[in-house]
Structure 1
Amino acid sequence: MEKESVLAAGGRMPEPAETQLPKGFSASYIIGRLFNRVGIVVKSTIIALVIFFMEVARLPAAFKKGNASGFFKRYMQATGFVLGGESLMARMMYNSKHPREVQLQLLRRVISDNAETKYGKTHGFDKITSVEKYRNSVPVNGYNDLEPYIDEHLKGGADVLVRGKPCYYATTSGSTGRPKFIPVTRTMEKEAHEGSARLWSYTLYKNEPRAYSGNIIVIVSPAVEGYTEAKVPYGSISGQYIKNLNENIRSKYTIPYELYEVKDYEARYYCMLLLGIADEDTSMLSSTNPSTLSLLAEKGEQFKDAILADIRAGSLAASCNVNDEIRALVNAKLKPNPERADYLKSCYENDPEGMLRPIHYWKKLVVIACWTGGNSKVFLNRMKKWYGDVQIKDLGYLASEIRGSVPLNINSSEGMLTIDENFFEFVKEGTNPHHNDNYLMVDQLEVGERYRLYFTNRGGLYRYDINDIVEVKGFVNGVPTIDFVQKGKGVTNITGEKIYEQQMLGVVEKASRNQNLHVLYFQAQARIEESRYDLFCEFEGDNVTEDQLQSFLGDVEIFMKETNLEYRTKRDSLRLAPFQLHVLGENSFEKFRKWRVANGVREAQIKNVPLSDDISLTEPLEIKKTYALA
């Protein structure tokens, strides 16, 4: 099958005035959808027949290999994957021609379903009949605004934010240091999480069918990391996504799910690499963050001799820090393979730098699936020396709180908004978000403009401000395709840790108090290229000792891990390097102020910048000495 582009042409739609929430879809929408479904049935019948004859053609070879007995199962899995994907794709494309109606219907259902909840009663859901009334009745919310309601759910309360109780919580770092617990309902799990994951998988199949020709290595965090007081599971949304994929895809996973739960990251990476490198039939590699894929390749080089010894022997070394159950699981997937060990040894011996790289052990790799938007480009460039110029399929605008887009094309970071899962609102960058008149719907956006994104979903996030800036890259019929640009103000992000100004201020204050130091001025910088944070500090007095400064730096590292669970995870998994401390000379803020004025900033507008990823802001600062953790 040839590669197929599924991105349709389009432009900005005329701006409709209709904002009333209808009681049902229009007759024209329903009739059109019926014809659309008839088309799907006809197309699905043809596809099922084609797949059947393709599988029949493979039977003689299957008999020779002794695995013909799996014919019916393979046929059903392949047919289910393709037919399910075609159905989801057809619905998305049909809805893209009716974005306003689909969005209004979704908002009506969310409000109606949750009208009898505590939040719904407080905000008069039963009286909301239009988008304007919704905006006037429901304020823009951050997590802190919804946290009291979520806490009631966490303790077992029902009908608080959502009708009934959430069935799962996706965890991520919060601005106050306590993790965010993002509610997930059964409807969300089925329609948003499972549906979107399968749709994404099918778009990849349409783009590049060879991606599924071999085995798949997926790297995620555990879907279940613990349980609430009410015995409801919580954990990583990425782990949850892979559990919801089609069985035909899951059967191709090289890494057993249990490996994601190994606490020792060195042992976890080692086992993943051992199984991955032993398997020469890998066609796809997936991890949300490209920094993880660079780290994986670096670890492969670091462990190469031990891994090749284990491949040769066909068993996991006794020195690897895993329990007996994991050891048995890994060993069951291995067999002695001295030929592969010898081949890989010759690869790195003939490498110009003497390195073992993924381009050596994954010769059949077709696609890498990961984020490519925002600052991911830095890590993508770093990956090239390991993986070469492999095709990349972006995972879309994806966070613990939202599955916001589905990319339709390969080697492109833009994705089509998920209008049947989230009710979206946008405020143009530079426009006042405190005026409801400045909020736009999906069909009112313009190509090339940047917007702050807000959304309402079926998990109790109402008019939720995720603090993200996106850019509109194009349209599919009436639905924008977007690309993530950056986080909004007051937060930095290198590899998913999302550190907030409040967190940095609190950590520095706590560390300075702990070491009996007085910080006169500081800046914290996210150093994306170096994958670490640098802290620039001016301290009061001349009698600050070396031990105090080293201990202060150690405390900053410890307290940030305590404050931000994602930072702790990224440090423990080696995706971030530890803080560095740069001690500054006297009058640092005055030097910073003069430099800003000289560069055209009005004096009245100058303020301290405690956290940034703009390294140019440190240009006027005088560094006396730099400290790193041992």
Structure 2
Amino acid sequence: MSLQGSLRNAVGSVPRKIARDAADRYLANAVDSQLAQQRTLRRVVALNAGSDLSRDLRLDELRTVDELKSRPVSSFDAFQPYVRRVLQGELGAMLGPKNQLLMFSQSSGTTADSKFIPVTKPFITDYRAGWQIWGIRALDSYPAISLGSILQLSSDHDRFRSEGGIPCGNISGLVAKLQNPLVRTMYCVPRIVAKIRDPELKTYVTLRLALADSNVRLVATANPSTLIQLAKAADRNAERLIRDIYDGTCWGAAALPSAVGRRLAWRMSRPDTARARKLEAIFRATDGLAPKYIWPQLQLVGVWTGGCAGMYLPELRELYGPLPIRDHGLHASEGRMTIPLDDNRSDGLLDVGSHVFEFIPEREYESEQPTTLQPHELEVGQDYYILLTTASGLTRYDICDVVRCTGFLGTTPLLEFRHKGAHISNITGEKLTESQAVEAVGHASRRLGIDVGQFSIAPAWGDPPGYRLVLEGGTAVEKTLPIAVDTALQRLNTEYRDKRQSGRLTTLQAETLPPGTWRRFARRRQDDTGASVEQYKHPFLSPDFRFIERIRASAAGALAIDPEFPRPHVGPAEVSA
């Protein structure tokens, strides 16, 4: 054991005991989820008592979780007027006097506007506690992690300030800022790197720092596509990275923000010839710098594994090795929902001590008065939409996540993420909405003077994956149309723009189908669901990777048996960015 490892183990024994005690309490809460949820409701109501939102919804009157059902289920749009006032500094619009606001977490919204989620001190305390439980359970499963380094990727929590002077950015950055200083010494990439705005430069600096460390034991970030892109960037920049490590330099250092450059100078200005020669040998022997070779003592990978994220896992294992993977847990800017307990599973235990949770059966989601269930009322094998009531002021908030109950611990369900709701698509974290798809196509078609007609946007797997704009062959499709739609989507959705610019999503492409395909597709959908013509809703956005396959089947069926359809070529129109 190294001297650093010995000191870390000695000094870290107290924080580890605190974290284990928290994990024990977390598991104890699971025994009686109803009692835990009742306590959570009282705490959340008290935190925001007296706010305008609390008065408008009469939340101060709530005494039981059952009484919460009389308040409306809401999308984020319902909270926007209150959030706008908080952004301007009117904290009492949404928060109680003792509920200290720390930041706004910015993410893509259901309209052209970004969502700004208030993050308060009690909220982040619960959020961090979840990560501490995840971390201590991982450390206890793989004690060798404590003898090495951790590569964890995060973003800046203070990208800009609101009108009221509140930091706005990514919640992962705030979690990093508040970490125990001792724990922070385990990270091979300092959190200041999150301040680098240019995606290519940020990736390169991350690799410059991480590759210089031969003792990385844990790699963690939310989306597996991020780790795949990181590994591919290491291959592309291998010779330059090895030279920088050998010389004690860093490509692009002159373009770094001055504060970032000063903080990183001591780390990157020391030549490490031995490490550089080792990396060069790996590069020559394997024709790349795959993580499985450059970090041979890697113990565990922590990423999302549910929903679309699961499709990345084969490539992730090819690059990082046949390692155990522990799900990151279901979490978002609005809150942490689950904490996984085991490796190589996509489910986790519902965090009943952090938020109040309600569930709508998926089959009832579109009904006027859907059933809402408490955690203990779920059924194994059934899918549900999840509602959140949080310490940051959101009440019965429909986050549009569909989860499946896989079992119970005590009376608390184990849940796995299935997909975003019917009108949201999410491949790499972009959370593209149907309203954004409609607005982007409308804007592009008006600008180009093209009559698009009926269309859909759907995900398509690839390396990297992306989206297809599905159109009938009668539409005047120009090469410029998909590019114009892609540009509009980047303007409307900041997460989509970030994923496009970092290469995690490829440019939008067009898929042309025979005239009449949409009519036949609608007829099949009505036959399958028993819906009337009036009830049919055209899917302008589909989250389903099988959607294009199904629409192609409709096209093939139309060509085969319907004589009114002509037989044009069916296939994607390749579009270069």
Q: TM-score normalized by structure 2?
A: 0.90
1:423 is matched with 356
Q: Which amino acid aligns with 2:326?
A: K
Deviation at 1:212, TM superposition (A): 2.5
Distance (whole Å) between structure 2 residues aligned to residue 103 and residue 240 of structure 1: 26
Q: Which amino acid aligns with 1:629?
A: S
SS in structure 2 of the partner of residue 203 of structure 1: helix
Q: 1:585 to 1:437 in 2, by over 3 A?
A: closer
Distance (whole Å) between structure 2 residues aligned to residue 423 and residue 600 of structure 1: 33
Asked if the contact 2:386–2:398 (Cα under 8 Å) also holds between the matched residues in 1, the reply is yes
Asked if the contact 1:519–1:539 (Cα under 8 Å) also holds between the matched residues in 2, the reply is no
Q: Which amino acid aligns with 1:171?
A: Q
Residue 128 of structure 2 corresponds to residue 176 of structure 1: no
Residue 32 of structure 2 corresponds to residue 98 of structure 1: yes
Deviation at 1:585, TM superposition (A): 4.1
Residue 423 of structure 2 corresponds to residue 490 of structure 1: yes
Q: 1:318 to 1:287 in 2, by over 3 A?
A: closer
1:609 is matched with 539
1:232 is matched with 166
Deviation at 1:358, TM superposition (A): 1.0
Residue 392 of structure 2 corresponds to residue 456 of structure 1: no
Q: 1:609 to 1:243 in 2, by over 3 A?
A: same
CA deviation vs aligned residue, 1:435-463 (integer Å, no higher than 9, x gap): 76721111112222221111211111101
Q: Which amino acid aligns with 1:569?
A: D
Deviation at 1:132, TM superposition (A): 3.5
Q: 1:318 to 1:467 in 2, by over 3 A?
A: closer
Gaps of 5+ in 1: 1-57
SS in structure 2 of the partner of residue 575 of structure 1: coil
Residue 71 of structure 2 corresponds to residue 142 of structure 1: no
CA deviation vs aligned residue, 1:460-497 (integer Å, no higher than 9, x gap): 11011011111112222221111111111111110000
Q: 1:89 to 1:600 in 2, by over 3 A?
A: closer
1:288 is matched with 222
Distance (whole Å) between structure 2 residues aligned to residue 564 and residue 475 of structure 1: 37
SS in structure 2 of the partner of residue 183 of structure 1: strand
Deviation at 1:74, TM superposition (A): 6.0
Distance (whole Å) between structure 2 residues aligned to residue 247 and residue 475 of structure 1: 36
Q: TM-score normalized by structure 1?
A: 0.83
Deviation at 1:561, TM superposition (A): 0.8
Distance (whole Å) between structure 1 residues aligned to residue 206 and residue 46 of structure 2: 46
2:575 is matched with 628
Gaps of 5+ in 2: 556-568
Q: Which amino acid aligns with 2:119?
A: V
2:102 is matched with 167
Residue 371 of structure 2 corresponds to residue 442 of structure 1: no
SS in structure 2 of the partner of residue 385 of structure 1: helix
SS in structure 2 of the partner of residue 439 of structure 1: coil
Asked if the contact 1:524–1:610 (Cα under 8 Å) also holds between the matched residues in 2, the reply is yes
Distance (whole Å) between structure 1 residues aligned to residue 366 and residue 376 of structure 2: 19
SS in structure 2 of the partner of residue 520 of structure 1: coil
Residue 184 of structure 2 corresponds to residue 250 of structure 1: yes
Q: 1:131 to 1:329 in 2, by over 3 A?
A: closer
> Counterparts in 2 of 1:53-452, with a 5 A limit?
62=3, 75-76=10-11, 78-136=12-70, 138-164=71-97, 166-190=101-125, 192-317=126-251, 321-323=255-257, 325-334=259-268, 335-351=270-286, 354-431=287-364, 438-452=371-385
1:579 is matched with 508
Q: Which amino acid aligns with 1:439?
A: T
Q: Which amino acid aligns with 1:626?
A: A
2:485 is matched with 556
SS in structure 2 of the partner of residue 430 of structure 1: helix
Asked if the contact 1:274–1:311 (Cα under 8 Å) also holds between the matched residues in 2, the reply is yes
Distance (whole Å) between structure 1 residues aligned to residue 154 and residue 338 of structure 2: 20
SS in structure 2 of the partner of residue 163 of structure 1: coil
Q: Which amino acid aligns with 2:483?
A: G
Q: 1:298 to 1:95 in 2, by over 3 A?
A: same
Asked if the contact 2:50–2:96 (Cα under 8 Å) also holds between the matched residues in 1, the reply is yes
Asked if the contact 1:135–1:436 (Cα under 8 Å) also holds between the matched residues in 2, the reply is no
Asked if the contact 2:105–2:170 (Cα under 8 Å) also holds between the matched residues in 1, the reply is yes
Distance (whole Å) between structure 1 residues aligned to residue 457 and residue 60 of structure 2: 47
Distance (whole Å) between structure 1 residues aligned to residue 251 and residue 491 of structure 2: 34
Deviation at 1:326, TM superposition (A): 3.8
Distance (whole Å) between structure 2 residues aligned to residue 515 and residue 433 of structure 1: 36
Asked if the contact 1:171–1:234 (Cα under 8 Å) also holds between the matched residues in 2, the reply is yes
SS in structure 2 of the partner of residue 473 of structure 1: strand
Asked if the contact 1:503–1:563 (Cα under 8 Å) also holds between the matched residues in 2, the reply is yes
Deviation at 1:249, TM superposition (A): 2.0
Asked if the contact 1:366–1:391 (Cα under 8 Å) also holds between the matched residues in 2, the reply is yes
Distance (whole Å) between structure 1 residues aligned to residue 106 and residue 94 of structure 2: 17
Distance (whole Å) between structure 2 residues aligned to residue 323 and residue 186 of structure 1: 29
Asked if the contact 1:197–1:244 (Cα under 8 Å) also holds between the matched residues in 2, the reply is no
CA deviation vs aligned residue, 1:115-171 (integer Å, no higher than 9, x gap): 3221222222343333343221x1001100111111111111132222136321111
Deviation at 1:598, TM superposition (A): 7.9
Deviation at 1:325, TM superposition (A): 4.8
Structure (1 or 2) with the larger CA radius of gyration:
1
Distance (whole Å) between structure 2 residues aligned to residue 432 and residue 596 of structure 1: 18
Deviation at 1:603, TM superposition (A): 6.3
Q: Which amino acid aligns with 2:124?
A: E
Distance (whole Å) between structure 2 residues aligned to residue 195 and residue 534 of structure 1: 40
Q: Which amino acid aligns with 1:611?
A: L
Asked if the contact 2:176–2:191 (Cα under 8 Å) also holds between the matched residues in 1, the reply is no
Distance (whole Å) between structure 1 residues aligned to residue 571 and residue 159 of structure 2: 43
Distance (whole Å) between structure 2 residues aligned to residue 254 and residue 357 of structure 1: 17
Distance (whole Å) between structure 1 residues aligned to residue 573 and residue 365 of structure 2: 41
SS in structure 1 of the partner of residue 345 of structure 2: coil
Asked if the contact 1:451–1:471 (Cα under 8 Å) also holds between the matched residues in 2, the reply is yes
Asked if the contact 2:509–2:572 (Cα under 8 Å) also holds between the matched residues in 1, the reply is no
Distance (whole Å) between structure 2 residues aligned to residue 337 and residue 143 of structure 1: 50
SS in structure 2 of the partner of residue 483 of structure 1: strand
- Equivalent residue pairs, number: 555
2:444 is matched with 511
2:457 is matched with 524
Q: 1:442 to 1:209 in 2, by over 3 A?
A: same
Asked if the contact 2:468–2:509 (Cα under 8 Å) also holds between the matched residues in 1, the reply is yes
Q: Which amino acid aligns with 2:117?
A: I
Asked if the contact 2:360–2:370 (Cα under 8 Å) also holds between the matched residues in 1, the reply is no
Distance (whole Å) between structure 2 residues aligned to residue 598 and residue 161 of structure 1: 46
> Counterparts in 2 of 1:2-41, with a 5 A limit?
none
Asked if the contact 1:585–1:624 (Cα under 8 Å) also holds between the matched residues in 2, the reply is no
Asked if the contact 1:99–1:479 (Cα under 8 Å) also holds between the matched residues in 2, the reply is yes
Q: 1:389 to 1:118 in 2, by over 3 A?
A: same
Residue 499 of structure 2 corresponds to residue 570 of structure 1: yes
Q: 1:600 to 1:490 in 2, by over 3 A?
A: closer
- The root-mean-square deviation of aligned C-alpha atoms, in Å, is 2.5
Structure 1 range deviating more: 613-622 or 453-462: 613-622
Asked if the contact 1:214–1:282 (Cα under 8 Å) also holds between the matched residues in 2, the reply is yes
